[in-house]
Amino acid sequence: MRIAMVSYEVYPFAKVGGLADVVGALPKYIERQGLTVDIFMPYHKKVDENAPKFGYTIEKVSEAIPVPQLLTEEKFDIYKTTLPGSRNVNVFLISNRYYFSANEVYEGPDLAEQAIFFSDAVLESIKKLDFNYDVIHVNDWQTALIPVYLKSVYKNDEKLSKIASVLTIHNLGYQGIFEPSYMKFAGLPDYLFSIDGIEFYGNINFLKGGILFADVINTVSPTYAREIQAKEYGEKLDGVLRVRSADLYGILNGIDYEEYNPETDKRIYVNYNLETVEKKRENKRMLQRELGLPERDVPMIGMINRLVDQKGLDIMAEVMDYVSLFDMQFVLLGTGDEKYEEMFKSLGEKYPEKYSINLKFDIVLAQRIYAGADMFLMPSRYEPCGLGQMYSLRYGTIPIVRYTGGLADTVKEYDPQTKDGNGFGFEPYDPAYLLKAIAKALYYYNEKEHWITLIRNAMTTDLSWDKSAKEYVKLYQRAKSKVQ
């Protein structure tokens, strides 16, 4: 089977959040299952910026290809590189100066036009390139129109009509909702502007289109796949998801065990494994030094996040003054909404000996926090899967989470009787429960025998992609069986 995987972000070429990590790792593991995978992504400015750091080279494959389907004269070029660490995963970069010259991945002159242009350009590239794909695997709203095109405009196209589609929802909170006028730009037939199509409360909704028209849909954890079919987590698409529930799966993300390995990770200060885990302390000391925190043996809580409502920062705001009463340190790395940046900045100013607030994107510092911190906080309001808690488990850093979505599927409450469990957490979205979970973790930090057991349980949790990659292969087979 040959798979075309389509995404706006792919590590290491351009990364904003977890989507990049998934599409940068999963193809390597699918390839090991004997399939062939190619990636299609926009040629963002970031791709050139990251090239010297990661040592990939880029060549031009084809140029000035039109998109006759769309209401634009813009053309695109195709460039090609290879996914580092893969055997043979081609990465095709769709280049167009007008749409893709912003500094950031999710910026541009018009985000709706940009996503439509990219989606159609991918299909035009597939027509042009000499490969026969069995499945197009699209990710999130930016690429969710591809299944819509396949089942409407291209349903009689000799090549494209034979390709099945899979949509992965990494975050239902972002849907791509725009004015109906974009139907015309996209060249989509009018009949699609209906309740059974991409119409959504008078607008158009790209993700809804993907959910209705992809042959198979999945999200990134079994719990989130269940949660989003009910009103509380459904973001107004729960009804549409229930319509497709027979074709909706939940496959837990994995993490790249080669890239994220405390034994070999070159970005951390001192390497370690389960047998030499006491070296974590050295990582903490060096991190304290780098960040200007007092070099003491106090429990350190880390947090690395996009600073947005999803991440539970409003309930955190209510408890951090109380958490600050403990002898502890807190290290934040993140960027996002101004109100949250301000909240963390003022905590840093109020308690300079306890807080290190780093409002930037820095993948080296991220690894140093995963390795150096003792605990990792992720009190998300909702979390489709969550990778932060998985990286921290792998690095022996104990997660404190809200049990929702993938957090509930990967973190298990520590039981001091049975010595089972790899972290701490809470369920009701309520600051009092969050405070209790943090206090509990801080308590067990001082119960050294329990803490060592926790670290052992964390580091031996199976989070590899191997199992999930096999699930994706089955998903592709299911999708393929629907178009024959």
Ligand X SMILES: Nc1ncnc2c1ncn2[C@@H]1O[C@H](COP(=O)(O)OP(=O)(O)O[C@H]2O[C@H](CO)[C@@H](O)[C@H](O)[C@H]2O)[C@@H](O)[C@H]1O
Residues making up the annotated binding site are 15
Q: Between 333 and 393, whose beta carbon lies closer to ligand X?
A: 333
Q: Is 317 exposed, middle or buried (0-12, 13-18, 19+ CB in 10 A)?
A: middle
| Min dist. Cβ of residue 37 to ligand X (A) | 17
Q: Which residue has the tokens 């405070």?
A: 435
Residue placing its CB nearer to ligand X in the complex, 176 or 384 = 384
Tokens of 11: 């590590």
Q: How far apart are CA 165 and CA 412, in angstroms?
A: 34
Helix (H, G, I), strand (E, B) or coil at 289: helix
Residue 313 interacting with ligand X (CB under 6 A): no
Output DSSP code: residue 167: E
Q: Is 9 among the residues that bind ligand X (CB under 6 A)?
A: no
| Positive or negative torsion for Cα 284, 290, 295, 296 | negative
**Residue nearer to ligand X on the CB measure, 330 or 444:** 330
Which part of the chain contacts ligand X (CB under 6 A), choosing from 14-22, 321-329, 341-349, 467-475?
14-22
SS3 assignment for 283-341: HHHHHHHHHCCCCCCCCEEEEEEEECHHHCHHHHHHHHHHHCCCCCEEEEEEEECHHHH
Name the minimum Å distance from CB 265 to ligand X.
Answer: 13
Q: Which stretch binds ligand X (CB under 6 A): 44-52, 88-96, 112-120, 384-392?
A: 384-392
Answer yes or no whether residue 334 interacts with ligand X by CB under 6 A: yes
Q: Which of 374, 383, 404, 468 binds ligand X (CB under 6 A)?
A: 383
Question: Where do the DSSP E strands lie in 100-174?
Answer: 135-139, 164-169
Find the binding residues for ligand X in span 244-283 (CB under 6 A): 253
Residue 479 sits in the site that holds ligand X (CB under 6 A): no
By CB under 6 A, the count of residues binding ligand X is 26
List the x/- string, 143-182, binding to ligand X by CB under 6 A: ---------------------------xx-----------
Q: Should residue 439 be labelled a site residue for ligand X when binding is judged by CB under 6 A? A: no
The residue within the footprint of ligand X, chosen from 93, 129, 220, 320 (CB under 6 A), is 220
Of 246 and 364, nearer to ligand X (C-beta) is 364
- Compute the Cα dihedral for 218, 219, 224, 230 and give only its sign: negative
**Residues comprising the binding site for ADP-alpha-D-glucose?**
15
Q: Interface with ligand X includes 366 (CB under 6 A)?
A: yes
Question: Which of 32, 159, 281, 306 contacts ligand X by CB under 6 A?
Answer: 306
N residues, the chain: 484
Selected from 148, 385, 411, 455, the binder of ligand X by CB under 6 A is 385
Site for ligand X contains 228 (CB under 6 A): no
Burial pattern 353-377, b for ≥16 Cβ within 10 A else e, equals ebbbbbbebeeebbbbbbbbbbbbb
What DSSP line would sit under 340-366, residue for residue? Answer: HHHHHHHHHHH-TTTEEEE-S--HHHH
Nearer to ligand X, 223 or 288 (CB): 223
In angstroms, what is the minimal distance from the CB of 268 to ligand X?
13
Using rule CB under 6 A, residue 302 touches ligand X: no
- Residue (of 66, 73, 20, 28) closest to 44 by Cα position: 20
Considering only residues 388, 421, 423, 425, which one is a binding residue for ligand X as defined by CB under 6 A? 388
Select 222 or 386, whichever has its Cβ closest to ligand X: 386
Residue 147 near residue 479, CB atoms below 8 Å: no
Note whether 323 binds ligand X by CB under 6 A: no
- E strand segments, 308-449: 329-336, 355-358, 375-378, 398-402, 424-426
d(CA 405, CA 382): 6
Q: Which is nearer to ligand X, 113 or 409 (CB)?
A: 409
Of 204 and 366, the one with the shorter C-beta distance to ligand X is 366
In sign, the C-alpha dihedral spanning 305, 306, 310, 316 is positive
Q: In angstroms, rounded to a whole number, what is the distance separating the alpha carbons of residues 380 and 404?
A: 8
Distance, CA of 174 to chain centre: 12
Task: State the binding string over 186-215 for ligand X (x if CB under 6 A, else -).
Answer: ------------------------------
Residues that bind ligand X (CB under 6 A): 17-19, 21-22, 170-171, 220, 253, 304-306, 333-335, 361-363, 366, 383-388, 406
